[in-house]
Chains A and B, each alone.
Chain A
């Protein structure tokens, strides 16, 4: 009976190395060492925004200190260097998402900016009265409202893919909703409120059969798994830099070249033009066609540093670690009396939404803050989802690879204290 011993040893070694790795990763993020109200910060709001490693902060700092110049216009060396650095990030973003070509990468202000761009530019060219846009019941407001605006403008109709009580998309209903009136499927890759990972590859394949384009809201997926837009075969993919360990105010829209060529511009201004006269303006090619005005250069540079940082990590190991953390946290929280987990789909990333009998999520959030624990409480910009689940709000802990089992323990021990405070 030597096997169990060996198993145990191997498991211990694996666990130890992992702890060492996480300790090393944590040391890359300066904010994780600060205190809140005299307690070490336990940051469990990674779905709202992720923390930034030194390399990102330093890249932004170095850009402003040594490289700052406008891009795509200066004839002098500084501007050339800034432009090179800026365009190099387009290349690395293309590699990061495995886009065919870097001209398929458009810099935006974030996920919201990307979806609005597609809804406006693609929508105005392709969507007419009576057409349908298909989204799901678990979308973030930013993947609802731009389509509603489009529907208001065009007379198109918004259709909703229903979900189960566990927070899983109803694929049977989805396939039935696809029709020759459907002009776009816009779907969240990972739900920010529930953590559900949607079977987007399968969904895209279904839509492909009817030649319907698909936009994937990847705001919550890119920080937790490898994304390959060619393998997914999606038409558009949007993400936010700040949820990917990069700066706020910058994001990426991937769009298949054929769409970007055919789409009219979104905003007009400098950079997106080839020539302007009062009679006739000729537009630039993609991606510049969709990047009017001076972009968020420092943000893009910071995002590039974040992508480089992530390139040094093993997605498979990260996925396994985060899965373990989620499983651990799920068990810990489910064992606490009065706690109910919201969103129990079989395939999830590290998002744990919960409610407590008789205690409002806002009170949970305030009280946990006194233990240095940062979670989100509210509707998570998913009010239709909350309505579907019969809730007004949830408390949500969301994890990243720098979180630890010890932090989960702190959360689990802090929750019973809420009962004490609230009496």
Chain B
């Protein structure tokens, strides 16, 4: 049985209390809005991409601790990464959140993002965490105006 402490790991709580890279990014090259209709949470992700490298990521919005921390950790994790690396990280985080990671090699280069590992034990909360990532992905691929978790 999953434990509350696994969900609310210290790193996650810290990022919820003090979200990093919070606020609009003036010189953003990619922007997308995300929405979780289940809880009404809204999120906007801003990316500044130059020469195939993410130079800056910010987010705005409000939501539960899981969604805020996931977004905040994401902004830290993506900075300086190439688009290919972002894609790989997106897949790895998705696997981590949905409990599909198979071993240490799947998660070792995720760094602090491993604080999201407890979420997979709380299926109802997985969407809270994936919202930021899907929104970021949509911003990069310019898929849609608004991303919904449903």
Contacts and interface: CB of A to CB of B under 8 A. Distances in A.
Among B8, B38, B39, max chain A CB count under 10 A is at: B39
Contacts of B13: 422-423
A392 B65 contact: no
A37 B84 CA distance: 42
Contact of B39 (A367, A370, A379): A379
A75 interface: no
Contacts of B41: 392-393
Given A392-B62, A422-B8, A362 B39 contact: yes
B40 A362 contact: no
Interface string B59-71: 0001111100000
B4 A423 contact: no
B122 A378 contact: no
Contact of B4 (A359, A370, A377, A393): A370
Given A363-B65, A366-B7, A422-B8, A392 B17 contact: no
A415 interface: no
A386 B40 contact: yes
B126 interface: no
Contacts of B4: 366-367, 370, 421
A125 to B, nearest CB: 33
A38 to B, nearest CB: 9
Q: How large is the interface on B (under 10, 10 to 19, 20 to 34, 35 or more residues)?
A: 20 to 34
A386 B62 CA distance: 14
A378 B36 CA distance: 11
Nearest to A387: B40
Q: How large is the interface on A (under 10, 10 to 19, 20 to 34, 35 or more residues)?
A: 10 to 19
B125 interface: yes
A423 B8 CA distance: 10
Contacts of B38: 378
Contact of A422 (B65, B122, B125, B128): B65
B125 A366 contact: yes
B40 A383 contact: yes
Interface in A357-372: 359-363, 366-367, 370
Contacts of A392: 39-42, 62-63
Contacts of B42: 392
Contact of A378 (B17, B40, B65): B40
B104 interface: no
Interface in A378-423: 378-379, 383, 386, 392-393, 421-423
Contact of B64 (A37, A362, A386, A423): A362
Contacts of B8: 363, 421-422
Contact of A377 (B17, B39, B65, B122): B39
Interface of A: 37, 359-363, 366-367, 370, 377-379, 383, 386, 392-393, 421-423
Given A393-B40, A422-B13, 13 more contacts: A37-B1, A359-B65, A361-B64, A362-B39, A362-B64, A362-B128, A366-B122, A379-B39, A392-B40, A392-B42, A421-B4, A422-B16, A423-B17
For the complex of A and B, 7 pairs with smallest distance between CB atoms: A360-B64, A362-B64, A392-B40, A379-B40, A363-B65, A423-B13, A378-B39
